Every structure is written in structure tokens, then in C-alpha cells.
Structure 1
Amino acid sequence: MYEDFIEVILRRAGERPRQPALVDEEETVDFGTLRARALRVSASLREAGVGSGDTVVVQGRRTCTTVVTLLGTMLAGAGYLAVEPTVPPGRLAHMMRRAAPRLVVSDSAELFRGFGVPVLGFAQALGSSGEPAEAAPPGASHAAPAYVMFTSGTTGVPKDVMVGRLALSWHNRAVRQTFGLTKDDQVLQAASLSFDVSAEEIWPTLAAGASVHFLPQALGETGYAAFSSFLAARRITVCNLPASYFAGWQGYLDLSGEGTAQLRLVVAGSEVLPLESARRWVAHPSRPRLLNAYGASEATITSLACEVRPEVLGADRVPIGEPLPEVVARVVDDKDREMPAGVVGELLLSGPGVADGWHRTGDLVRYADGWFWFHGRIDDQVKIQGVRVQPAEIEAGLLAVTGAEDARAVAVSGRLVGCLRSARRIDVAQVRDRLEDLLPAQLMPSEIVVLETFPTTAGGKVDIPALRELLSISAPSAARALDDLDALLCRLWTSLLPADTVSEHSDFFVLGGTSLAAARLVGALRREAGIDCGVRTVFAHSRFGELSAELRRKLQEEAA
């Protein structure tokens, strides 16, 4: 039976108005206040002309106020499009054209000048301090939009995905059941509001009557030690992490000996979960329950999940699980014929989370032993630190800002390299500056390389595997312009990791680093440079630039 998740949240507010609902660094909003503020936002938006089926752009940080505004938007019958404060101007212009919003809620009105769309500040959207009349909020059909988000597109431009109230309500109920959420849970909110994982962190939590806690910084900017401290201080019981971050944090916990005390559930998703990390987690008797989650934005976030236990782990991978309630999953060949168990084919998803029939995921999987197992992609889409990346979008951006003859974006050893084919000289620094106006940080290449020719196949097409091999051999080191410490660190990383080059933002564990590799790095630094930093330092500062800065600080302290 259809159960609107917003009605469930409002019901929870009536049942426990003083229960904390949202908690950030500045305030705690209880359920009663959440309801009152969201109703005021809804009234303000309707007064501004917002109606059922419209889209409202909401640009703000991950705070209580922003999430109240998202809820108020849906109460008004509209769908929200959450926009990061740092969105590049070119990408924002494309999103505004595609989404055609009725209204923008933002405290940065200047950014939206020229789009012909009215802008309300957050204070205006929240309206007066009094709660609006107790008339029920406007009803919205199950076909009404819940949110719009943009993913990396195969056509070279960001792709918009609209998720409706019915789909999100189904997802909400399935997640509450799968995660076992109750009113006693304290749930971490760490994903960007422009990513659909944030909807999985927020709305099922509120519908369960539980509390949402906002991580102060972006997850990628939060070291493992600081992350553990935050979880302990807030007594977090449930967290949802990109698999690469989970893997690094798991290694940190192993070496530091820190516990996970109050945690009862960790969900790892968005990327392939490393087998060794999963094994080490479940082998530890005090670690909480671990779920490996799989899904597609077009099919409403998580569609399959696997509770990771020693007996379900394969010889070389972790299963992506079994379908959530009401999800139908099929494995087919290129003619949509059902594949027998154990044979690899494309995964198709259907159910209430898919608006129109079946969704072709583009993922290769097989079904065996009661589980679905991931085996790669049918195209060249890649995941970089949990973000879905279509090379075509990056390539289109590179061509737009350079006028080069050709461009390719290639994943090399866990990093993204932008390749330009041009016989003339191209200023790479200038290209990067202009590209930042078009692409979000998650899609920016870690390196840009200019080549006179690209390797080709016998048929004349660009040979991507050969190009990737060429880049692995000849790509210039990002540390070439840095001083001796960075050069040493770069040399040690590339000798210990399956990576030929590193950049400032490269993560030791995302590039394949293990606890043993971290110990070897510490030993090599001690032998070759007399630097004694300890393994915990590597886990707490796993990005190249962060570790370099920390080692430099230690050396300066010793010299003082």
C-alpha cells in the first residue's frame, strides 16, 4: 500500500514533537520545530507562485535550515534541486536551463542573476516566526516530483534525473526495513545534498522518528581520526559511506585500535567494496553490522543490498546483494534474453523506484549462490571516489575550452587523466582554470596531458587501453615541481602502490594502499629521511597533500 513518506514524517512530529530531528554545529531542531518551519517554507513558496509539479532550486550548506527548506519545498508539492554553494558557473547555467525552476532559495542572489528566476533568501523562505494556519499542507499526488539531481552524462552534458514521491516513498520504507531504523537511532549525514545518497541518509531517518546529524566538513576533507571522534561524540549508530572511504577508515581502526562503540550499522556503497577490507571488518568480533549497497540514481538510490558475513564473501569479490522489497532484478544479454545463473550479463532493474518500466544499468553482473555479483561496465563509465563519471562530459568540457582536435578522459590507476590531441602548444594551467568553470570538483581530471597523436585501433578508432598504457608509462609526475620532500614522498607512494603517478589530492588507500603498505611507507621515510611519523599519521592524513603538509610540520617542529 502506498504510504507517502512526508505524511509519515509529519506524523512522527505529532507523536514526538520534542525529539531531536536535525542536529548541526549551530543548532538542534526537534520534530515539532521541523514541522512548523517546513510548513512556513511551504506557505512562503506557494505565496511566491510555486505549485504542484514545479522545481525549486535550493542552494545552501548541509545544515538544519537547508534540510527544513527541502522538506518545505516538497510540502508545497514541488521537487527540490539541491545545488552546492561551489557549483561551477557553466554547470549551474546548464542546470538552470534544464530544470527550468519556478524559484530559487539561496542567500547568494548574485549567483543567479540573469536567469530570470525569482530568488528568496532562507530567512524569507522561513517567513514569520508564527506557524501558518493549521489547514493541512497541500496534497501532492504520488506522481509529484520529490527531487531532481544531475549526474555525469553519456552525451557530454550533465544528465538530469527526476525522482517522484512514489519512488522515494517506496525507497523510504524499504530502507527503514533493511537498515532496521528506529526512533533511537542517531544517523550520520555526510553526503553532498546534490547527491542522491543524502536523500537516503535524511528522509528514512526522519520517517523513523530518528535524528540526523550533519558532519561539519565534506567527508573527503575529514581525516579518519576526526571522523571517528565525531561518531563517538554524537553517539552515531548508523553511517553510510563510499566504499573507498570505508576501506581507509577500516584500516585506520585496525591500526589505531579505536573502537566503534555505539555504531550498530555501517553501509558501504557508491563504489566496489574492496574484498580485503570487508574480510577484515567482519573478522573483528566487535565491529558492527556491515551492508554492501548497490543502486542507480535512475532507480532511486539503493536497489540491492548484502549483509556482509564471512560465509557470503567470494574468492575475489563481495556480492552486491539481493533486491530490496519490491525491486525486480534481471540479468540479460544484448538482446534482452534472460541469462542462466552464473553467466555474466547486463543488470536490468524494475519496480516502484523506476518511473518507466525497466532501467538499464549498464552494469555487468551474474547471479549465483543467491546473490548478484558485479563484474564491471558495458561502457567506459568509471567511479572516482564514489562519483559516477561519464568520460564524455569531461571530454566535451576539454574540447570546449581548448579547441583541440580531440579529447579523451581516461581512468589510470584510480585517478582521472584528461588527454588532449593537438599539434599546437596548449597552456595546461589555463585549461584547468577554464575547466573549473564547467565541471564540479569531482569531475576535474587530476592531470591534463597534451599529445600530438592518440594510439588507434586497426579500424581507426582511438585505442583506449593503449592510451591508458601510454599514460601509465609516460604521464609526468605531479611532484616534479615540488621540493625534495614531496619528490621523496611521490617516489615512495609509486613504489608501494599500484599507481604510476600521484597528485596532491590522491588518497593512499583509494589508490590501493593497505595497512602493510602504510607500515612500509613509514619505515622507508624513517630510513631515507629520518622522519618518524608513525602509521597512524598515514591513516589520519591519507591524501598526498595532507600527508606532505603534516610531515613538513613535524620537520619544522624538530628543527625549532
Structure 2
Amino acid sequence: MVRQYPDHIAVTDGDSELTYRELDAKSDVIADELLSAGVVAGSHVGLYVARGSGTVAGLLGILKCGAAYVPIDPNYPAERARWTVGDSASVAVVTTSDLAPAFTGLDVRTVRLELLPASGAPRPDAVHPGGTGPAYIIYTSGSTGEPKGVLVGHHEVVRLFSATREWFGFGPDDVWTVFHSAAFDFSVWEIWGALLHGGRLVVVPRDVARSPAAFHELLRSERVTVVNQTPAAFRRLAAVDARAPLPLESLRTVVLGGERLDPATLRDWIDRHGDERPELVNMYGITEATVHASYRRLSRADLDADGPSPIGVPLRDLTFHVRGPDGEPVPDGQPGELHIEGPGVAAGYLHRPELTQERFSGSAPHTGERSEAASAHRACRTFRTGDRVVRLDDGQYGYLGRTDDQIKIRGFRVEPGEVEALLGRHPLVASAVVLPRDYGEDDVRLIACVVPTEGSTDGAPEKLVDELRDLALSLPDQLRPSAYELLETLPLTPNGKADRAALSALVRDRHRTDSTETGGADAAGAGIAAVQARVTAIWRSVIDIDDIGPDADFFDLGGTSLTLLRMFEQVNKAFGTDLDITVLIEGATVRNLASHVAAVAAPGSPLPRTEEFG
């Protein structure tokens, strides 16, 4: 693309832009520094930078050395970042000076982007052009208590776009957003979807990604043509679009993926825009099969269809096998576990030979060979997904759910076992089970059911809960429980395992769905105290916690990014305001939010019953 479109804009990052020529030169400097630091073809290199053009240049520089990049979300706890670098045996980390202290004491070189020269000559003889070797290692949650790194090769990524070319027709006139963290494989589709076709990649700042209104305005102002979202995130973008003063005139394609789609949630969008432009596409995917594995063009007819979530047909170079518990194929129309076969299947899990053998068949380490035998070997690799699907009468597939306890939260795969193992390390915890609870509108949160050791919490159960919350700070946001239930015992199934269905019912009974009436004062006219009381009532309902102090942090109380958006929708509806989450930049507290509400609230707005917010 550098030779074909040297002066096309490759990356837009806020007020700055990089052409393909400039991006190539910047990544050359990074590659030169990495080679000087001892990186060689086949090395693993961490990428630990805030989202921006440095993310794109960094991963390109790593790939130019023939190394595989290991993306680490900069919002992950430092302990998690250190663990990932150690487990991946990364020899260097591309980072910045503010983030580099996370690796103090580790035997790893850090390449700090802001300290590199503006230009420099690479070592062309050492720059590896790619091929069948690993391109990246993305970590997913692990049921054994530790994340597992998925090895994905250059060939797997390149063939993803070859296999989807006829459906999408991406080209140099397309403008993409990179909305997702580099540690989430949806970003692979976003970054390379733009760069492999000569398009422009717009980096979405984290605060904009958390604000549907700000994201909608960015899509409009940057004239984005291709947007990629989880169904939960798109639902909120669509709600903003319904009341936006200006339309998204350039948008031509919306790709949905990362979690189960309920087509009925698209009704309002399709009523406004139709189902032709922008086209809506649902793509089932999994990291081990290189981002996307199926394609389904959605239409108005899907809105009223009964049955499983439609995921369409396999990509052209993949084969789906639906098998029963015995591993044998099941007839069409009968549910079974999905096994994916073909050249998109990854090589396996890094340093996890037993797990690789359990989930993959016909896989082998990447060798870099380009022989026909190597190509044939890639084509016959199969991955057992753990997802339940059904092949329908028309040859398409429907998604039904999981065969195990794995959960999807905001597109991330969460293995409850990883969280349970961490909580179980506390000396006062006898056992722990982590369950999902859906609060509605795709707001899924984790609930930890904990049995303390006998007598350990006499008179002070809150102390153990506080200690468990502190312990969970070592986990990424999506793995942290929002609430903790202390139980005397766990209900068990006849075979002696924790009865998760019974626990889920217990959690539903314990967590209220509404509250009592809060009073009947007038709105902003009653003063800041009344506004603060109303905001507190909304928080109680949305977070599902009774005791909320005016200076308690929303996220410390168990809120998530999706919960935050729901809370703002409730507040704006109650007060007749149009506040955005960016008003909480100085602190996500009731006191801070109430002050902003009081400054702009519509006078005379009646005090609602809390039940309105449930």
C-alpha cells in the first residue's frame, strides 16, 4: 500500500494524521530500535501503549522484525501486564515512558515511542516480510485460572480478507474506525481492514469510545464508511442516532460481532435507515479462528424471525461441523457443538500443549514453510469452539449459546474459573463461584458467590468483601465481580458440583429489581440536595446497591462501562438533560454528577419513582 498510495492518509489520530509513507517511516524507526535491542525473527514483543497512531506504528514495527506482537491493554493493571510479558516470553516491549515502570525488574528491554528519533534507516536485510509465522498473540480468559495466549499467523489474517472480499468490496476510499483495544481481536479486523486496502483508519479515543454521542459525532465528522461494533455497543449508538441532528451520510457497512445478536434490537435502526445502506452484517467469530468465521447479511425479515441468533454461513475457506457429545455429526436441525475447520484456525495456545491438544486437532507449530504440504496442513486444522449451534433448513447456522460456563461481557470472553481461582487464593475463602447476571439491555455483570471459612467473618463480613474487591483489582475490568454474595454453603448437584442454576436463582431473589418511592419534591428548583437525592436513587436502581455515598466512585461500587451508559440514559430522561459521560472526568461520583445536573436541569421536572429506573 505504501508504493500504491504513498500520500493517502493511513491513520487519523485526533488532530494529527499520518500518510502511508509517514506511517511506513515511523514503523521503520521502531523496527530499527527493536532490532538493535536484540529482537529477531520469531521473537515475541509486547505492545503496551495508549490507543493512538503509536499503536498502529508499534505493531507494524514489531512485524517488520519478523516478530509477533503481544497486545496488552494499557488500562489493565500493571500486575496483569507484567504477567503477560513473562508468560509470552517477550524479549522487548514497545511502550511509553509513563507506562514503562510496569516492567521494572523484569528482564525485558523497553522501547519508548516518544524517545525515538523522528526518522532513521531500517535494516532491510533483517526486516521479515511475514508469511506463515505468528503475527500476534492475543490472550483470552482461561478456565484454569490463568489467561491463555492464542497464536495467530500472518497467513490466517491475510486469508480472512481474501475470504470476505466478494461480500464487502473494501477499498482505498473506505474510512474505518479502530474502536476496540488492540488486546481484543476485533481490532485485527479494524486495523488490517483499513491498511490492507489502502483505506484510512480513524483512532477512537477512549473517552469517545465510552460516549455514544461523541462516537456518533466522530463517525459523522470523519465521514466513516465502515464501523465495527458489538451488538451492545451498537444498540446505544443507534439510540443516539435516533435523535442526532445530522445523519451518518457516509456510513455504508456496519459489522456486528463479539457477542450474541438479537435481531429485534435493530428494529428502530432499520425503520429509519432500511436494510440496504448501510448494510448490516452479523459475523460470528472466535479468537482461535482469526476474528470472524461466518457471515450473515441482515434484513428486515430477520426482525420478526423466531429461533436462534442468525450467524449465517461459514467464510468461504472454512467448514462448520456440528457434533454431539460423542463427537459424531448431528442431523440438520439438531443442536450440537461447533467445530471449525480450515486455514483460519490458529496454531494453538502458547505454552499450553495439553490444552492445545484438547481443543485443536491437526494443528502444529508454525514453521514458516510455504510448501503445498504446509498449506494443506493449515486447511485441515480444526478447533472445537465450545459453542452450541444448529444448522438450519436453508443451510445457514444459528447460535444457541455455550456448552460450558464461559461468558461474553462486552465482547470479551470471560472464564468464571479464572476469577474463582483468584478469589480462592484468599485465606478466608473456602469456595467461590462466579455467575453472570443480566440487568437488561445487554448489561451483563459478574456476581461472586463466596463461602467464607468457618467463623472468619463473625461480625465483619464487609471486611472480607472489601478485601476481595481489592484482590480483584489485579484483573481487567471485565473480569471483576460487581457484587459479592457471602453464603454459608453452596447448593450442589447430585454429582457434587456447584449447582450454578440454583445459585443463579438465589442471586435473582436476593438482588432487588426496584426500590421504594423517594419522595415528591420538585426538580432543580428544590436545590442541589434534592437533585443529589434523585441521582442517588437512580444509581441505587442501576447498580443494584443500597448504600451509596455521595463521593463513592461508580466503578468501585460495581458499575461497568455499559452500566454507566445506562445510568446516564436514566438521568437524562429523569431531568430532561442531555449530559454526556465526559462530565465525570473529574470523578464518577453522585456529588459530581448532581452538580452538573443542577446546572442544566429543566426547571419543575417532577421527582420520579425509583421504579422507573429498574
TM-score by length of 2: 0.78
Matched, 1:268 2:251: no
Q: Give the match for residue 227 of structure 1.
A: 215
Q: Give the distance between the partners of 2:427 and 2:253, measured in 1 at CA.
A: 47
1:15-74 Cα offsets, whole Å, 9 max, x none, are 111100011014201011112222222222222211111100111011112211111111
From the superposition, tell whether residues 549 and 239 of structure 1 become closer, same or farther in structure 2 (CA, over 3 Å). Answer: farther
Q: Give the distance between the partners of 1:449 and 1:311, measured in 2 at CA.
A: 43
Q: Is the 8 A contact 1:191 1:218 kept in 2?
A: no
> How far did 1:470 drift?
0.8
> How far did 1:253 drift?
2.2
Pick one of 422, 438, 444 that aligns with 1:397. 422
> How far did 1:261 drift?
1.3
Matches within 5 A, 1:131-210: 131-132=121-122, 135=124, 138-140=127-129, 142-210=131-199
Matches within 5 A, 1:43-192: 43-107=32-96, 108-123=99-114, 126-127=116-117, 129-132=119-122, 135=124, 138-140=127-129, 142-192=131-181
Aligned partner of residue 320 in structure 1, secondary structure = strand
> How far did 1:279 drift?
3.2
1:395-423 Cα offsets, whole Å, 9 max, x none, are 11111245400011100122211121113
Q: Give the distance between the partners of 2:95 and 2:289, measured in 1 at CA.
A: 29
Unaligned runs of 5+ in 2: 348-362, 364-380, 439-443, 458-462, 517-528, 545-556, 604-614
1:439-489 Cα offsets, whole Å, 9 max, x none, are 111111111222221122233321111111111111479999x97324532
Matched, 1:384 2:427: no
From the superposition, tell whether residues 460 and 90 of structure 1 become closer, same or farther in structure 2 (CA, over 3 Å). Answer: same
Q: Give the distance between the partners of 2:513 and 2:583, measured in 1 at CA.
A: 21
Matched, 1:241 2:229: yes
> How far did 1:556 drift?
4.7
Matched, 1:433 2:433: no
From the superposition, tell whether residues 546 and 225 of structure 1 become closer, same or farther in structure 2 (CA, over 3 Å). Answer: farther
1:86-121 Cα offsets, whole Å, 9 max, x none, are 322332233122100111122233211122112221
Q: Give the match for residue 419 of structure 1.
A: 449
Q: Is the 8 A contact 2:28 2:120 kept in 1?
A: no
Give me the CA root mean square deviation.
3.2
- Higher mean alpha-carbon deviation, 356-365 vs 549-558, is at 549-558
Amino acid at match of 1:462: A
1:130-152 Cα offsets, whole Å, 9 max, x none, are 3436x466335523110011100
> How far did 1:311 drift?
3.1
From the superposition, tell whether residues 419 and 541 of structure 1 become closer, same or farther in structure 2 (CA, over 3 Å). Answer: farther
Pick one of 506, 517, 525 that aligns with 1:470. 506
> How far did 1:199 drift?
1.0
Pick one of 450, 471, 480 that aligns with 2:486. 450
Q: Which segments of structure 1 move beyond 4 Å, counting only runs of 4 or more?
A: 255-258, 476-480, 490-495, 508-511, 536-542, 545-552, 556-560
> How far did 1:551 drift?
5.7
Q: Is the 8 A contact 1:401 1:435 kept in 2?
A: no
Q: Give the match for residue 598 of structure 2.
A: 555
Q: Give the match for residue 347 of structure 1.
A: 338
> How far did 1:271 drift?
1.0
> How far did 1:218 drift?
5.2
How many pairs are equivalent? 524
Aligned partner of residue 393 in structure 1, secondary structure = helix
Pick one of 346, 354, 362 that aligns with 2:386. 362
> How far did 1:537 drift?
5.9
Q: Is the 8 A contact 1:171 1:353 kept in 2?
A: yes
Unaligned runs of 5+ in 1: 1-11, 496-501, 526-531
Q: Give the match for residue 533 of structure 2.
A: 484
